[in-house]
A and B are shown apart, each in its own frame.
Chain A
Amino acid sequence: EAAVTQSPRNKVAVTGGKVTLSCNQTNNHNNMYWYRQDTGHGLRLIHYSYGAGSTEKGDIPDGYKASRPSQENFSLILELATPSQTSVYFCASGDTGSSAETLYFGSGTRLTVL
């Protein structure tokens, strides 16, 4: 089974500060995703990537940047964190080849912006 590891598990940041959330996967999946989960909204797609060097905007990319420096690593960057970005963030990876890929999720990062 795919292993997706997120760090940190919990993060408290101050408004205006820079936050970097990291994700590492060890099963050589091409596709990686960042979602945020908020009550009443489910999982909303922020950014995704097809492979090293690629990043694509999801449905709610404003205020977020992404970086995919290698097949294994996909980071989410909040340059100027705001309280509205307080949420639980999930990274996921998936096999390439068709739309019928299974997503494997990390354990999540709980971010609080004060």
Chain B
Amino acid sequence: QQQVRQSPQSLTVWEGETAILNCSYEDSTFDYFPWYWQFPRESPALLIAIRPVSNKKEDGRFTIFFNKREKKLSLHITDSQPGDSATYFCAASAGTGGYKVVFGSGTRLLVSP
């Protein structure tokens, strides 16, 4: 079963708008939640990450909001730019079980100028 779920599968926003990407998980032992982005014909790369001790992590225009009780998190991209167009993966890992890192199915974001 999918341990990490993402929605929507695809999202289109206009340049300057805020894009909101959602993620949920099932395993309470997950203690680290990185987001990776992947541009067409490239490899995934780390974008931003959060630990459950925080409910918010900001890095420029990118912000993760985390709700531990509901096992949900979201990535907000403010003032979206065409260069943000990529597939975004929510991932999760746990200290037990050997740092296994599992990924969601991804959200394909298109920012239209």
Report how far A40 CA is from B36 CA in the complex, Å.
16
Whether a CB of chain A sits under 8 angstroms from the CB of B62 is: no
A38 to B51, CA, bound (A): 28
| List of A residues within 8 angstroms of B32 by Cβ | 98-100
Residues of chain B within 8 A of A99, CB atoms compared: 31-32, 93-95, 99
> Which range contains the number of A residues in contact with the other chain?
20 to 34
The count of chain B contact residues (Cβ–Cβ below 8 Å) is 26
The smallest C-beta distance from B107 to any residue of chain A, in angstroms, reads 10
Given A56-B98, A99-B31, A99-B32, A107 and B103 touching (CB < 8 A)?
no
B69 at interface by CB-CB < 8 Å? no
Specify which of A56, A98, A101, A105 is in contact with B44 (CB 8 Å cutoff). A105
Asked if A42 contacts B95 (CB within 8 A), the reply is no
Q: Give the contacting residue for B89; candidates A43, A50, A108; CB below 8 A.
A: A43
Chain B residues with CB under 8 Å of chain A are: 3, 6, 9, 31-32, 34, 36, 43-46, 49, 51, 89, 93-95, 98-106
A residues adjacent to B (C-beta < 8 A): 31, 33, 35, 40-45, 48, 50, 56, 58-59, 90, 94, 96, 98-103, 105-108
